[in-house]
Amino acid sequence: MTVTIVGSQLGDEGKGGVVDLYGDAADVVARYQGGDNAGHTVVHGGEKYKLSLVPSGAVRGKVGVLGNGCVVNPETLFDEIDTLRERGLEPDVRVAERAHVILPYHRALDGIEEDEKEDLAAGTTKRGIGPTYEDKAGRRGIRVGDLLDPDTLRERLEYVVPQKRALAKEVFGADPDEAFDVDHLFETYREYGERLAEEGMTVDCGTYLQKRIDDGDNVMLEGAQGTSIDIDHGIYPYVTSSNPTAGGATVGTGLGPTVVGQGEVIGIVKAYLSRVGTGPLPTELGGVEGQTPDYDGDQGAGEDEEELATYIRDEGGEYGTVTGRPRRVGWLDMPMLRHAARANGFTGLAINHIDVLAGLEEVRVGHSYELEGEEVLTMPPTTEKWGDCEANLKSFDGWADVDWSEVAEKGYEAIPENARTYLEYVADELGASIYAIGVGPGREETVVVENPYE
């Protein structure tokens, strides 16, 4: 069977920990979208592993697959694999031949365009994600399978690189370097292709995964980023260029929707909100220079809010895994979660980071929005309207900081009562059961209520 893991907010909900936890029962962990923009930290045997492309299951001896819906930077891929090997692991990573390749000109153009866009900039990770998906949709992309065939690789590069060079130079006034040089790219990427072939890493993803399922294996489909930065269902244009939503799990792997739909779809929820990037955020507390629109150092209710934001940011370690940027933080946004529950069809929820909020006297959530004099319960379809929404806050009594490892050992009833009230409110509103509660960064610090593979 399959278990699909989806971020229900803006990314960074702690998906890695849940994948890691439930991944024990999985034989294969496949990513279905995104690329090396997805930072995740895996704690294993007291060691911390920071990965941005390799599926986290690979740290635990599972087969890690990068599906056809991913965009693959071979440099990052091999760097991560080599680092894991140096640390004594033997990662088994397969890459879909249909996946698109991130080339150096994609990264360069991501940076150049972000600077050019000013207010419309999404605050991207500058990993070349958007430009690579653009080329995929524009039918001028280079796929992993093309790296294995030098003639095709050269032909594709000869077509596309002069266009990219002209774009950089004539449109953006940049000075194209070797990232825009056909011969250099051909040599480098042909070598990556040789290594992929030598190590037997490429697969026909859908066929491979279906066979594993038919053989009785458990497959986990790991989404990166989150529903509200989905290119279709997110806060366009402040989004990533792929589909983190559960539909992406079928398109991005080659498994049929009926196959994925027979399994479980688990929404990962962070108990508050965090965001790396620009655009509105109705439940934001305080703000972050360069990301919060019109930030003047004194957002919202002023100093108290800034202090609260700093407290949550520091307690939760809310600094980007990939870029190190401080994340914007806010109260849980229920309209955002209702939107996610519908778009993904969650069968279960994992709610993380309730320990981070411990010690606060009061915990709030944005229960609904006030928009044009009316109460709305889900996100409006345009980001401009979303920016006009005022959050109607609901208040909960806070819970004390306790020994969370002990709570994890004892189980659900050991969670402080006020925190349980909070969790049950979220589950009731979303109509999905709680499968797990994250009470700390390690996977041992999780209260497991249900194991989807059992």
Q: Which residues bind ligand IMP (CB under 6 A)?
A: 11-12, 37-39, 122-125, 127, 129-130, 224-225, 229, 238, 240-241, 276-277
DSSP-assigned letter for residue 255: -
Residue 41 or residue 310: which is nearer to ligand IMP going by CB? 41
Q: Which is nearer to ligand IMP, 59 or 408 (CB)?
A: 59
CA angle 74, 78, 79 (to 5 degrees): 115
Determine contact, residues 368/453, Cβ cutoff 8 Å. Answer: no
CB of 235 to ligand IMP, least distance (A): 9
Least distance to ligand IMP from the beta carbon of 339, Å?
Answer: 17
Residue 37 CB, nearest approach to ligand IMP (Å): 4
Q: Which residues 6+ apart lie within 8 Å of 145 measured at CB?
A: 97, 98, 202
Q: Which amino acid is at 21?
A: L
3-state secondary structure 273-301: EEECCCCCCCCEECCCCCCCCCCCCCCCC
Cα 290 from Cα 317, distance rounded (Å): 19
Dist. CA 423–CA 363, nearest whole Å: 12
**Which residues make Cβ contacts (< 8 Å) with residue 174, sequence separation at least 6?**
108, 112, 168
H helix intervals, 199-264: 205-214, 247-251, 257-262
Q: Which of 12, 135, 230, 355 is catalytic?
A: 12
Q: How far is the CB of 374 from ligand IMP (least distance, A)?
A: 29
List the Cα angle 127/3/268 in 5-degree steps.
60
* Closest to ligand IMP by CB, 110 or 355: 110
Could you write out the DSSP letters of every residue in 368-402?
A: EEEETTEEESS--SSHHHHHH-EEEEEEEE-----
**Smaller CB separation from ligand IMP, 193 or 279:** 279
Nearest to ligand IMP of 11, 91 (CB atom): 11
Shorter beta-carbon distance to ligand IMP: residue 224 or 288: 224
Count of beta carbons in the 10 Å neighbourhood of residue 374: 8
Task: Specify the amino acid at residue 407.
Answer: V
CA distance 142 to 153: 7
**362 in helix, strand or coil?**
strand
Nearest approach, Cβ of residue 229 and ligand IMP (Å): 5
The rounded distance, in Å, linking the Cα atoms of 167 and 108 is 11
Least distance to ligand IMP, CB of residue 7, Å: 8
Q: Could you say which of 20, 36, 40, 230 is catalytic?
A: 40
Calpha distance 13→259 (Å, rounded):
26
Closer by beta carbon to ligand IMP, 68 or else 225: 225
In whole angstroms, the minimum distance from the beta carbon of 370 to ligand IMP comes to: 26
Does residue 428 carry a catalytic annotation?
Answer: no
Distances (CA, A) of 268 to 15, 19, 308, 353, 371: 6, 10, 24, 11, 27
Whole-number minimum distance, CB 112 to ligand IMP, in Å? 14
The alpha carbon of residue 439 and the mean position of all alpha carbons in its chain are separated, in whole angstroms, by 20
Measured in Å, how far apart are the chain's first and last C-alpha atoms? 10
Q: Which is nearer to ligand IMP, 150 or 320 (CB)?
A: 320
Q: 18 in helix, strand or coil? A: helix
Whole-number Cα distances in Å, 330 to 40, 68, 107, 327 = 21, 34, 30, 10
Active site residues: 12, 40
